[in-house]
Structure 1
């Protein structure tokens, strides 16, 4: 994937999107998270432990080349991305929960991501070299998430009526910006896209779908509400491929195009699987609300 897309265009687009998300949030949204300790612990547990174990099972089942196996584990270890907040916003999830979980998981990734990646390199490639997740990468994640959201929330607090009027157009613009970036990425990778899909497509698709399914139904199983379960679904099902691509492609870190392939393929597929999942969940919610109203 073109490094300009991976490290500049997509983060910039998502930062604009996060500004729009901030317009819909208030401080009270975050205060209410104190009532969801079980959901927060469950989501973080799935992201840090369950998904890497599931990815390892897929790698052992599909037996990809060593570099692709490491790339798959790098993807699994990456935290949830800002795209999860956008999809949660589009499909009526608890966006404040997404943002808080992304921030928390970004902190834990400082330890878990290098650990899982280094163990994968040692196991699949017999290479003892270590990977360090540099502090500036973590700061980039926080900057993309927190700064524009805080700006949007400030506008909401100072000019609530203006923020409410802007929600719908910003929502529409967010979709256009997001799919514009995807279109550019797909166009630039068109020559290799088929090869990438053949190499890791089935494995990546199973991993993505499993994350979305577990992300929704695990919280629902412990009694979590629908908006929070949708937020969890997107948070667990959509990883920060910008971060994993940057680590794989950076000359200072892994410097491997092959290790970036799983994240590149996932970065395209997840937009469509997440959209389909969101539509299905919303339709299910409408049917449940209709039955409840009729009953």
Structure 2
């Protein structure tokens, strides 16, 4: 097993599961009830993630005149849902964690249907092989959501319910641990992809950065347009720009059997860690208010 595989298949999922457990200790069932009761934020977040993100990726691939391989690689990324990393960043940024988790879970399940449709069109449009049948690992995707997100958060919520004082004391230490693990994971991603950073940045660095910034900006503007509060706006902004890079790599290298298509995904992963880190640094310092 290569270093990159150890990081992506063992270290990263384990780290995120631990963070999700700590995140669960900050949540109560009422947090999710509010999301269901006021679904506007969920609908806005899902629209950005499932509709506008692929459209922006498609337009950028055309505007930058990417070659077919790079264009399809960018589209793979643009069709993928948010991942547990977005939940981690939302926690440190003091956004609406319940909304972030809900968006990640729903978009991950819905994208099982949308990814094959969008990618089939992208493969045909950009002139790549069109005789490939795209079938996502449905059970693996659902299992990933359960093991990394749902189960650890549920365990954390159980502790919050029965050991409330302990859970409240752990909020600040877990937020600090989230930041530290985020930095370690970012360094690990750089180390695992060091051999392609130069080539990737040269070929698709600018377009990947544009995709990240445009989608995050769109997330924030749409949240504000529909008069959502700051915590919800933060969650939607992050969910719009932080993608499930692991799933994208699986699609590129395993399903489409094209390692080169992973270049935009690797470059985007680096950018999203940088922009996510900046948001954590800026927003994580602010004082939380009862109502923002």
TM-score relative to the length of structure 1: 0.91
2:107 pairs with 1:120 = no
Deviation at 1:7, TM superposition (A): 2.8
Maintained 8 Å contact 1:7/1:246: no
Is 1:101 the counterpart of 2:103 in the alignment?
Answer: yes
Separation in structure 1 between the aligned mates of residue 281 and residue 37 of structure 2, nearest angstrom = 27
Which residue number corresponds to residue 215 of structure 1? 219
Contact 1:137 1:243 in 2 (8 A): no
Measured in 2, the distance between the counterparts of 1:89 and 1:282 equals 9
| Range that drifts further, 273-282 or 74-83 | 273-282
Structure 2 unaligned regions, length at least 5: none
| CA 1:128–1:122: 2 relative to 1, 3 Å | farther
What secondary structure, in the 3-state scheme, does the structure 1 residue paired with 2:170 have? Answer: helix
User: Which residue matches 1:162?
Assistant: 166
Say whether 1:137 aligns with 2:140. Answer: yes
Counterpart contact for 1:84–1:234, Cα < 8 Å: yes
**171, 189, 193: which one pairs with 1:185?**
189
Q: More displaced, 268-277 or 150-159?
A: 268-277
Contact residue 160 and residue 167 of structure 2 kept, 8 A = yes
2:173 & 2:130 partners in 1: Cα distance? 50
Q: Deviations over 1:248-274 (max 9, x none)?
A: 222xx1222111111111111111112
The answer on whether the counterparts of 1:80 and 1:236 sit within 8 Å (CA) in structure 2 is yes
Q: Which runs of 4+ in 1 moved over 4 A?
A: 278-283
List gaps (5 residues or longer) in structure 1.
290-295
The aligned counterpart of 2:204 is 200
Give secondary structure in 2 for the equivalent of 1:8. helix
Matched with 1:60 is 62
Q: Distance in 2 between matches of 1:126 and 1:133?
A: 17
Residue of structure 2 equivalent to 1:293 = none
How far 1:13 sits from its partner (Å)? 1.4
Counterpart secondary structure, 1:79: coil
Structure 2 CA distance, aligned partners of 1:8 and 1:246?
15
For this pair of structures, how many residues does the alignment match?
Answer: 284
What does 1:1-295 correspond to in 2, within 5 Å? 2-124=4-126, 125-139=128-142, 140-250=144-254, 253-280=255-282
Task: Work out the CA distance in 2 between the residues paired with 1:68 and 1:36.
Answer: 39
What is the aligned-residue RMSD (CA, Å)? 1.8
CA contact (8 A) 2:212 2:272 kept: yes
Q: Distance in 1 between matches of 2:280 and 2:16?
A: 19
